[in-house]
Amino acid sequence: MFTEGGNALRNYLTAVSRPAQRCTMLRPAITISRETGAGALPIANLVARQLDLDFPGDPPCSWIVFDRNLITKVLEDHHLSKQIEEFLPEDARFPLTEAFEFLLGLHPPSGMLREYAKETIRKLATAGNVILVGRGGAMITAGLRHVLRVRLVAPFEFRVRNYVGMNGLSRQKAMRTVRGNDAANRRYW
């Protein structure tokens, strides 16, 4: 959805910034946690398109998918440099590496960056009409009753084939990447 142009994002931001009295109910939100290669982003985009058709809301508000573009939103919300983007991976980094990078002034402490991400995810989920893919969204929104949490899983072989198709990698490289990403995702929060 986000990749289809700025109009959907602009419409979303306009709708959610309207005064609270216009909306009597919280807008729903969805989080998708996933295994690497399970196809979360295409599914999220399909769900968003269908929800736009079936439940436009009153006033209408487009559904927006946040995946990799969530990092950009975190940086915008907290007035951080685009250069910090590489320090917001979806996994745990080695503590010594993080400490060294922080001491060199390359980025704020990693704990602060995670808190910024949590704050942005909560803000988006509270505004509603969003589908948040990954980044611990299901755990971060655990206390919000208007959020549907989905876990997307698939057999390893399917995920490897899917990852090969999406990224044009060799089967061996895709297998290593899928395994590595699975391990990194378990360490993220």
Number of domains comprising the chain? 1
Assigned token pair, 53: 């058709």
pLDDT score of 66: 93
From residue 76, how far is each of 70, 85, 118 by CA, in Å? 10, 11, 14
- Confidence band (pLDDT; 50, 70, 90) for 96? very low
33: three-class secondary structure by DSSP: strand
Residue 4 has pLDDT above 70, yes or no: no
Opening angle at CA 32, ends 94 and 36, nearest 5? 55
Q: 162, 38 in Cβ contact below 8 A?
A: yes
Q: What is the CATH number of the domain that holds 128?
A: 3.40.50.300
Task: Provide the residue type at 72 as one letter.
Answer: T
Can you give the residue range of the structural domain that contains 161?
2-187
- Its pTM stands at 0.72
Contacts with 100 (C-beta within 8 Å, 6 or more apart), sequence order: none
pLDDT, mean of residues 97-105: 50
pLDDT of residue 50: 94
| 9-63 pLDDT per residue, tens | 666 666 656 554 444 567 899 999 999 999 999 999 999 999 999 887 777 889 9
**Which pLDDT score is estimated for 94?**
43
**Who has greater pLDDT, 115 or 46?**
46
**Angle at the Cα of 157 from the Cα atoms of 34 and 130, rounded to 5 degrees:** 20
